Amino acid sequence: MDIQVANMQTRASSSLPQPPARRAALAPHRVNTVVAYIEEHAAETVGVKKLATVVNMSPFHFARMFKGALGVPPHAYITNVRMERAKRLLATSNMSLREIATTVGYQTQAHFTGVFHKQVGMTPRTYRLSSRGQNLPAPAAPSVPIRETIRQQESLVPQI
pLDDT in tens, 54-66: 999 999 999 999 9
Distance CA 97, CA 89 (A): 10
pTM score, whole prediction = 0.69
Domain 28-131, CATH number (from 3.40.50.150, 1.10.10.1100, 1.10.10.60, 3.30.9.10): 1.10.10.60
Q: Is the pLDDT of residue 95 over 70?
A: yes
DSSP 53-99: HHTT--HHHHHHHHHHHHSS-HHHHHHHHHHHHHHHHHHH----HHH
How high is the mean pLDDT of the chain?
82
Residue 49's alpha-carbon distances to 42, 52, 53, 84, in angstroms, are 15, 5, 6, 23
120-151 pLDDT, tens per residue? 999 999 999 998 887 665 555 555 555 655 55
Which residue has better confidence, 5 or 39? 39
Domain regions of the chain by residue span: 28-131
Cα 93 from Cα 87, distance rounded (Å): 10
Decide: 52 and 46 in contact? Cβ < 8 Å: no
Q: What is the pLDDT of residue 24?
A: 73
Q: Which residue has the higher pLDDT, 74 or 21?
A: 74
